[in-house]
Chains A and B, each alone.
Chain A
Amino acid sequence: MKSIACHGCDLLQRLPRLQPGGKARCGRCGQILAVNPVHPLDTPLALSIAAAVLVVIANVCPLMSLSAAGRTSTTTLAGGAFEMWMRGSQVTAVVVLFCAVIAPILYVTAMLAVMIAIQRPPAPAWMGDFMRLADRLRPWSMNEVLLLGILVALTKIAQLAEVIPGPALFAVTALVLLLPWIWSTFDPHVVWARIAWSTGAKP
């Protein structure tokens, strides 16, 4: 039994021992306090490796191409942001590049680094910075919004010309499923318990 303060309402409470696969909610505001995944080390590691491969495919391969009247244009994820930059909307280009390319790459890299490092505790204290990075980037890594945006864009364009989906589109689709899956099989408490304290003290 250990004490924990709810991040939603600051109620101090004791965590019961959780069944494998169970989760605990705050007794007052309902926020999820803790989860107990069945394989807190192996599953997120395996999924992070898969996500890393998919992130590479999503960013290297063509996303889709458009052909009309004998002309073809192809774009990649970063290419979309680049076109926005070239056509005068630089601020939007930077934010799109961040949410669609940079944040997902950094997020997956940070998760993979953490999951590898904690296999043999104690992981160095600076691994905590990678956890922090992943946590900060999570709301900005917008794969699912991006995918829906691409699909709406395709529908709009499909009336004008023929659209051919590229490998990156399938990789983005797979990432939409994988990234929340990593988060659901992963217990931050387990990770933090395996990272060395920044003060050098032993828990």
Chain B
Amino acid sequence: MKKFVAACLTAGMLATALVGCGTQNQPTTTGGTFTKTTEDGYPVQNDGQEVSYWVSLSGHVSAHSQSLNDTKFAQGLKENTGINVKFQHPTIGQETESFNLMIASRDLPDIIEYGWNKYSGGPEKAITEKTIISLNDVVDQVSPNIKKLFEENADYRKANTTETGNIYVYPFIRGDQTLCTYMGAMVRKDFLDKAGLQPPETIEEWETMLRKFKEMGIKSPLTMRMDNTKLSQMNQFIGAYGAAADFYVEDGKVKYGPAEDAFVQFVELMTKWYSEGLLDSNFTDTDSKRLTSVVANGEAGAAFGSAGGDFGSWMPAAKKNDPNAEFVPVPYPVLNKGDRPKFGNADLPTGGYGAAITATSQNVELAARLLDYGYGEEGHMYYNFGIEGESYNMVDGVPTYTDIILDTEKNGGLSVGQAMGKYIRACYNGPFVQDKNYISQFYTDPVQTEAINVWSDNDQLKYAMPNAAMTEDENREYTKIITDIDTYREEIMYKTITGTMSLDDFKANYLNEMKERGIERAIQLKQQAYDRYNKQ
């Protein structure tokens, strides 16, 4: 027994000694020893080392290919850059779990494309933990394209830099305002005409319309997903009460919509609509197939969704069932007629999502050259439009997709997005600047283009919270608070709306409970980060 205790003590001491070495916080740079060995220009001369690249597989690609490697896009990318890139993908639907397991296993590829804000402890932690490297030197030495872009647009750099000034990704950047908005509401125009109503603008008009729809025998007058992600993307109806469903900035002050009175009013409205049968009774079911069938069967009169992915498939499906089916996009609702909507849907042009180079990579330079390609002139065209003469042609100076992409008959029955997935990455994301000429052609139905104009006509971007970096400690504390709050709020919201919990209880306790769970501290942490961001 004595021996055992002694052994334990020694082991403990040894471990503490090791810990001592491990936790020393070293300044996070790659040491400034990075030297360039390859020549400028593409294709890059090299010995054909494999550069592994982890990225989740988009639905636009998985519809026809097992992996990006099997696409024309990957083949062309290899030829153009001269770099032997090999893509690997997590299981679809388990991206977060697969990512976390990969990080814990330390068996890392050369490049990981991911939303780095989701990394536990934030991007800063990813660097100090030696998962990925700081790209400052790499960008400076071997990435002329992105370097130039960062110099021209300081905001692009700021949004992808950690608190201590480390660039961590080759980011995805939306190159135009029209690319930032993609979600909102549409209403069945034929139902509206039948009811003799105009497209609704205020909450009151919405209510009138939904009630009328119900009288007309429509089963679920309004259908939409309200889980945390969708709600914070679209701010459905909350915006009318003067708050966003996520963090936002008003007069230099960071605010959190769900901790404001506006959220309570929003839940009250939804509860009322649910009890009257105006809201889809299965709205908590997040299965996208179910939503498609509800809209396609004409069971829903109004729906929230994205112009491309959702309405792009819902509208043709609805028309198939009912030739009279027509959709009209409606603006984000307000309280008083004539007001301009304060919130809507708009993503920031860039921030946090992109391709990072791992700390274990033996091919840092090749990886960097590969990633920098997308930001140059040639790479920009390649990522957005593909191969000239095959997937696009220049028509009057505008790159225009060919029939292989746009014509369902000629591409083997694929949708436009899926056909694009074979050649380009503009239809989802990646390390490049998205081109606005892509979106105008991606939306094949003029209703979709109109929708973007209608949905973006609000002040969302004015109040947007920038991707302001937090320190490791801030991030750790913040994440702990916010994950707890997210779970709590979604649960309590669902239960109140569906009537499992009484509205009075909700009104009496909700805001206090948010405070008790530390929302004020979370806002304070965001505020600190925001203030620092502005000083940069």
A binds B: no
Interface residues of B (CB under 8 A from A): none
Interface residues of A (CB under 8 A from B): none
